[in-house]
Amino acid sequence: MVVADIDGNRAKQVADEVAASGAPVSAVSLDVRASAGCRAGVDHAVQVYGGLDVLICSAGIGQAATPAWEQPEEDWLRVIDVNLNGVWRTTAAAVPELRRSDRGRIVLVSSVAGKEGNPHLAAYSASKAGVIGLTKSLGKELGRDGVLVNAVTPAVIDTPMVRSEGSDPAVLETLLSKIPMGRLGTTEEVAELVAWLASPSCSFTTGGVFDLSGGRSTY
């Protein structure tokens, strides 16, 4: 298994949860800006474990809150490159190995922002919407290959990214106000859903998008 992530706290929690189920886990922080880096991470997992059954991509970066038309182009491109292109690069490297498995699974971490769009966070929202589209396309393309592809769409999760660069306090408060449960989600809650989607128990679900939003998004 490969867990690809830049937000290390969430990646560790996901890896720990999956490992608790008895599956061997290779937690790899990939250079998702380069296809070669993604390929190297996949190759490492295959060499260590003799194959690849599950790919979990949760790499992601945030952005400074700004109107879409005022965002510097280099910032826009950086967010899209990590959050969407990096997921595609990693997935493209892993699919040939996953098709050789008898229970291939791909779990991509998107965001509720990709479904609803967050004001002043257009690049982030667009990148996560792209991950949802990629999930649905891959689910259809790999449906007869035994590789199930699903996404999770968390609302605001209590991670270092949110605390450090997750925008100014006013933006965070606005996002929190949209959650009927009135709190941030936890990395443990994300990890438990990801672990199920990566497991053999998930057997007839592909191209699905699963919310972790505290009631914010219910469709």
CA torsion angle for 125, 128, 129, 132 (degrees, to 10)?
-160
Annotated catalytic residue within 14, 45, 124, 175 = 124
Between CA 144 and CA 8 the distance in angstroms is 33
Sheet holding 105-109, edge to edge: 26-28, 2-4, 54-57, 105-109, 148-154, 208-212
- The label of the residue with tokens 């967050």 reads 118
Q: Is 49 part of the annotated catalytic residue set?
A: no
Return the number of other C-beta atoms located less than 10 Å from residue 50's C-beta: 8
Hey, which residues are catalytic here?
124
